[in-house]
Amino acid sequence: MTERGSSDVGSARTLPAVRRLVLIAAAAGVAVLLAWSLVAESGHWFGALAEGHNPNAPRRIIYWEKWTGFEGEAMQRVVDEFNRRQRLRAQRQSGYRPIEVEKVIVSEIGRKFMVAVAGGDPPDLAGLWSNNVASYAEKGAMMDLTETLPKLGITREQFIPVYWGLCEHRGRVWAVPTAPATTALHCNTRLFREVDPNWQDPPRTIEEMDRWAERLTKWRVTTTEGTTEIRRGYCPNVPDDRKRLIQVGFLPSEPGWWRWQWGCQFGGTLHDPNRGITADDPANVRAYEWIASHARKLGPKNIQRFQSGFGNFSSPQNAFLCGKVAMELQGVWMANFISKYAPGMRWKAAPFPYPADRPDLKDTTYCDSDVLAIPRGCPHPREAQEFLRFVCSQEGMEILCLGQRKFSPLAVESERFRREHPHPYIGLFRSLAMGPNVYAPPRISVWEEYTREMANAYNTIQNHPERSVREILGGVRVTMQRALERENRRYDRRIAAAE
């Protein structure tokens, strides 16, 4: 007979005990989790409580900024100066609660900004790009500053007109420009003087630049005898399997950030308020046929292979910095990267060349700017506006632009700013911004989509230079016109729904 009894009774007794233990352990775990989250949040709650109750506690605001490195440091100096002045004011003025700005570095700021606003938890201020303004403003992500800015003493007349314009959309103002930029032709002096030891002046016309581009292009050629030699020019008589590109005079796809803008350099436009999308404007077609001519001369596969060996932009292996590309269209920031990664490099900057038959396009430049915006649903709008007021003051703006080594977007610069500025060509970049031939991305809400379409068109033209440029750009016009009409319908629908 099997021994039933003690072990079975013991098992029966342990089961409820085990179940009880499991339930207690689960409850304890949940309790610990709850307690931990309460404690973690309590700092925030108690802080807010203290802020509410302590009459002298600072009013903290959160400012999201995308920049790191010296650009981020420059903005930090502005924040530190503002905070210092606020503390001084609190010492002098009894009962005044100082504003304290906390700068937070945020990557992918555009997407995170959108998600934060949508989630109802935005920062108080955000440092965005000027091409975000139209899209975000139209979707209600930004605070309308049209009535607010004049009360802060910030007016259109204080700024270089083109930069104020970047912050407007549908007749309203949505942000303020902070660190501006223009573009110019950058030339590697050493490479030019290898061809002509007496070279001084960068090319002025497109045709002159094309001639220089040919002289500055080098190949490693394997001769029919099996030896290797370096040859200059485009070497059209050497088949591709016997030549390797090692240096190029000018490559429109380097750095490749503005594949949409070549038409503008030739006097074209991408959008007209009356005609809509104008991607296949005759001037745009001419510009991209010029791009196609580069691809024909160098060979699409040679360009692909050559470009795939380029290093990161922010590194000594940058194609321009290491001498792989002799001329490049770049922005005012390039001097910073040259001094950081290639301090011994000799270089010159000049206005980008114009077509010889269009002298009216002299000094054509692309302008862009960082902007400071207050998101919709900002927790502390008045405090955020105070910081805006400081950034847009002469002093605040010049601390920022001196630190970022850019020119100021304000119409007036101080003598000290001009004297202390480390950029050797800062006068050139600023004068380009004040000139008549300044262009910026069109302020339409489908701009992101448009840049993707134009980038795709550029790649198609470069990879297939035998195809019709007019047809390719015509395709972009049709696609984007449809997209623009779709967005306009969305906008009208939203306005109607709001009414």
Partner 1 sequence: MTRLERRHLRNGLLFCLPWLIGFSVFLLYPLVASAYYSMCDYSVLLDPVFVGLDNYRQMLSDPLFGKSLWNTAYYAMFSVGLGLVISLSLAMLLNVRLRGIAWYRTALYLPTLMPVVAASVLWAWMYNGESGILNSLLAKVGIEGPNWLADPSWAKFAMVLMTVWGVGNAMVIYLAGLQDVPVQLQEAAVIDGANWLQRLRHVTIPMISPVIYFNLIMGIIGSLQVFTRAYIMTGATGEPERSTLFYVLRLHNVAFQDLRMGYACAMAWVLFLIILALTLVLTRVSRKWVHYER
Q: Segment 12-51, which members bind partner 1 (CB under 8 A)? A: 23, 26
Pairing outcome for strands 365-373 and 438-439: parallel
Nearer to partner 1, 84 or 482 (CB): 482
Answer yes or no whether residue 118 interacts with partner 1 by CB under 8 A.
yes
Between residue 443 and residue 462, which ones bind partner 1 under the rule CB under 8 A? 446, 448-449, 452, 455-456, 459-460
Q: Which is nearer to partner 1, 138 or 398 (CB)?
A: 138
| CA angle, 290 then 369 then 320, to 5° | 50
* 200: exposed, middle or buried (Cβ count in 10 Å: 0-12, 13-18, 19+): exposed
Of 193 and 493, nearer to partner 1 (C-beta) is 493
Part of the chain binding partner 1 (CB under 8 A), chosen from 187-195, 288-296, 349-357, 490-498 = 490-498
CB 106 within 8 A of CB 125: no
Q: Is 416 in the site for partner 1 (CB under 8 A)?
A: no
136 vs 192 by CB, closer to partner 1: 136
Residue with Cβ nearer partner 1 (434 or 455): 455
| Angle in degrees, 0-180, between the axes of helices 447-463 and 282-298, rounded to the nearest 10 | 40
Q: How far is the CB of 461 from partner 1 (least distance, A)?
A: 10
Q: CB of 478: closest distance to partner 1 in angstroms?
A: 10
Residue ranges in 257-316 that form contacts with partner 1 under rule CB under 8 A: 301, 304-309
CB of 446 to partner 1, least distance (A): 8
Which residue type does 418 have?
A: R
Assess 115 for contact with partner 1 (CB under 8 A). yes
233 vs 311, beta carbon nearer partner 1: 311
Minimum CB–partner distance for residue 493 and partner 1 (Å): 6
The label of the residue with tokens 């610990």 reads 32
Choice between 62 and 455, CB closer to partner 1? 455
Tell me the closest approach of the beta carbon of residue 195 to partner 1, in angstroms: 25
Cβ-based nearer residue to partner 1, 240 or 357: 240
CA-CA distance, 418 to 381, in Å (whole number)? 34
- The dihedral of CA 475, 476, 479, 485: what is its sign? negative
User: What b-and-e string marks burial along 226-257, b requiring 16 or more CB atoms within 10 Å of the CB?
Assistant: eeeeeeeebbeebeeeebebbbbbbbbbbbeb
**CB nearer partner 1, residue 162 or residue 446:** 446
Least distance CB 117 / partner 1 (angstroms): 6
Chosen residue from 10, 47, 69, 140 binding partner 1 by CB under 8 A: 140
In the chain, the largest separation of any two C-alpha atoms, in whole Å, equals 114
255 prior amide bond cis, ω within 30: yes
- Buried/exposed 469-493: b ≥16 CB within 10 Å, e otherwise: beebbebbbebbbebbeebeeeeee
Helix, coil or strand: residue 446: coil
CB atoms near residue 431 (< 10 Å)? 15
Phi, psi of 253 (to 5 degrees): -85, 10
Q: Total residues at the site for partner 1 (CB under 8 A)?
A: 37
Q: Where are the alpha helices (DSSP H) in 127-174?
A: 133-138, 148-151, 161-166
Rounded to whole angstroms, how far apart are CA atoms 455 and 477?
A: 13
Q: Mask of contacts with partner 1, 198-237, x by CB under 8 A? A: ----------------------------------------
Between residues 325 and 391, which has the closer beta carbon with respect to partner 1? 325
Q: Which two tokens stand for residue 245?
A: 């590109």
Residue choice 61, 101, 117, 469 for contact with partner 1 (CB under 8 A): 117
The piece of 58-66, 112-120, 178-186, 206-214 that touches partner 1 (CB under 8 A) is 112-120
Q: List residues near partner 1 by CB under 8 A.
A: 23, 26, 111, 114-115, 117-118, 135-136, 139-141, 241, 301, 304-309, 376, 446, 448-449, 452, 455-456, 459-460, 463, 479, 482, 486, 490, 493-494, 497
